[in-house]
Structures are given as structure tokens and as C-alpha cells.
Amino acid sequence: MRCDACRGACCETFILPASDLLDDDVSRWLALHASRRQNLLEFDCRCTKLTAEGRCGIYEDRPSLCRTFAVGGSACLDAVRRRRTPEQYQLIRDDGDPTEIHA
């Protein structure tokens, strides 16, 4: 996966399992501000530390959640599939990456 060509698809959204939410007013507010995908809530919220070039502005000091995100892993490929066009995906992929994006 060529992260430079991707320009931070994984840092433009935040996904939260809906089952983790409590049945209270805060959970209701979260649900009203998210797109629902199966049992997930997805928030469009670009990371404030993502630079104009699509790079992490705090890479050396990024949160542990960011450190556990596997480049080229299923969550990465899903973010690219949802946030980028198939043509952009072809520019992003390396030889070992899947050739197609499946919805």
C-alpha cells in the first residue's frame, strides 16, 4: 500500500461499534451524527493532525490506536474502498495488494 498516494483515507473517518454505546442521551447524540453501517457508527471527522499532503503531522508521537492500525490490513483496505475511487486505489496499491475493491 502506498500511503503517500492514499493521502490518509484511514484518518478521515472514525468507526465505533454501536454495541459499545450505552442507551443514554450521549449515545443518542453519537448515533444522530454518524452513518450507520451494520453494527457500526461511522463519523466523518478528518484528523486534525493530518497535513494538507495527507500525511500524519505527529507520526512519531501518534496515539497507540493509530499505531495498531495495520497498513494494508482489512481496515486499511476498507477505508480506501469507502473513501477513494477504484482508479485512486490502483495508484495506491503495491504488487501484493488485491487488484480490485469489492463493495
Residue range 28-63, pLDDT digits in tens: 788 788 888 788 888 899 999 999 999 999 999 999
Predicted TM-score (pTM) of the model is 0.71
Cα angle: 43, vertex 47, 49; to 5 degrees:
175
pLDDT of residue 73: 83
Which pLDDT tens digit goes with each residue over 3-24? 888 899 999 988 888 766 556 7
Task: Give residue limits of the domains in the chain.
Answer: 3-92
Task: Give CA separation, 54 vs 2, 20, 38, 40, in Å.
Answer: 12, 30, 28, 25
The 8-class DSSP code of residue 9 comes to G
Contact 34, 43 (CB under 8 A): yes
CA-only gyration radius of the chain, Å: 15
